[in-house]
Structure 1
Amino acid sequence: MSTQSKIEHSLNDLIEIARDGKDFYTEAAGKVKDPELSGLFTRIAGVKSDIVTRLSAVVAAAGGKPAEHGTMVGSMQQFYGKVRAALGDTNYGYVAELEESEDRLLKAFQETLTDADTPAAARVEAQDLLPRVRECHDVMRNRKHALKMAS
């Protein structure tokens, strides 16, 4: 496998999962009634958008084709979030699903970094973005726990 296709393979999964998150956060920001939560979702959607842009640039610079869509799992998760929100606690329903989305992205980043086949260019970019991924994950995990305690 060429370095180009290894970079494409390594980073396109991350691009797809980050795009899932961006789309889901954007949708959730428009659905929740709490302005503070909506603002948080919008801010994190922006972080996901930055991740997609930066990783896509690395794939393109290597001569590859950046992923242009999200994942099937992400679509199902978004659907489940809508159903859950429609059935009751909108804030908790969205936060719980978004936290799962954060778990997926963090796990994918960690797998990319521990995979011996990940090319250096992909590893450097993933390592550079990891603190932002971890921060979003922790914010949503803490928010989920706080909402659970409050109910």
Structure 2
Amino acid sequence: MKHPPEIAILNDVLESLIDSTDGYEKAAEIAKRDTFQNFFTRRAAARRAMAAAVRNEIVTLGGKPEDDGTILASAHRVFMKISAAIQDNDEAAIEAVETGEEHLRMTFEQALERSELSPASKSLLSNFQGELRADGRLIDHLEETA
């Protein structure tokens, strides 16, 4: 049995996770320090795992998971490429992922406020919020050291 509103909400979250993964991968490419490259690569892998879990939940609900990010993120990636060409450095990489993380946290918060989400979907997303908050703190720390 399909749950269209819930599937749509989860697909929005999935798109943002795909965007976040792409953003971290791009940040790893433009970062200069190995420490930052490794951090961004690990975060991309973590976002990929979150996306896989959300994708599985969508399939369980009888939906079709999105496989692309958002149009807004496509524009952000173009901006990142231009920014990277101008200033190929750690600060540009950190700034880019920080912007993406703020958007991702807002997407999660908005999704969790929706009454259409089942307890299982809410639990799944809630479990990821702690990791998102921790990543935000780590990014703030990276920003201080850059």
TM norm. shorter chain > 0.5? yes
In 2, are the aligned partners of 1:3 and 1:119 still within 8 Å (CA)? Answer: no
* Percent identical residues: 22
> In structure 2, what residue type is equivalent to 1:125?
L
Aligned-residue CA RMSD (Å) = 1.6
Report the equivalent of 1:69. Answer: 68
Report the equivalent of 2:34. Answer: 35
Report the equivalent of 1:106. Answer: 105
Per the TM alignment, residue 3 of structure 1 is displaced from its structure 2 partner at its CA by: 5.9
Q: Which moved more, 1:117-126 or 1:92-101?
A: 117-126
Report the equivalent of 1:83. Answer: 82
Following superposition, which runs of at least 4 residues in structure 1 exceed 3 angstroms of deviation? none
Deviations 1:116-151 (A, max 9, x none): 23222221111111111222222123322443xxxx
> How far, CA to CA, are the matches of 2:9 and 2:120 in structure 1?
10
Report the equivalent of 1:50. Answer: 49
Matched pairs, number: 146
> How far, CA to CA, are the matches of 1:145 and 1:5 in structure 2?
43
Deviations 1:72-124 (A, max 9, x none): 11111111122122222521111101101000000111111122232222211
What are the within-5 Å matches in structure 2 for residues 110-149 of structure 1?
110-147=109-146
Deviations 1:14-39 (A, max 9, x none): 11011011112112212322111000
Q: Which moved more, 1:18-27 or 1:47-56?
A: 18-27
> How far, CA to CA, are the matches of 1:73 and 1:137 in structure 2?
21
Report the equivalent of 1:17. Answer: 16
> How far, CA to CA, are the matches of 1:138 and 1:109 in structure 2?
17
TM-score, with structure 1 as normaliser? 0.88
Per the TM alignment, residue 57 of structure 1 is displaced from its structure 2 partner at its CA by: 0.4
Per the TM alignment, residue 64 of structure 1 is displaced from its structure 2 partner at its CA by: 0.6
In 1, are the aligned partners of 2:6 and 2:116 still within 8 Å (CA)? Answer: no
TM-score, with structure 2 as normaliser? 0.91
Matched, 1:6 2:8: no
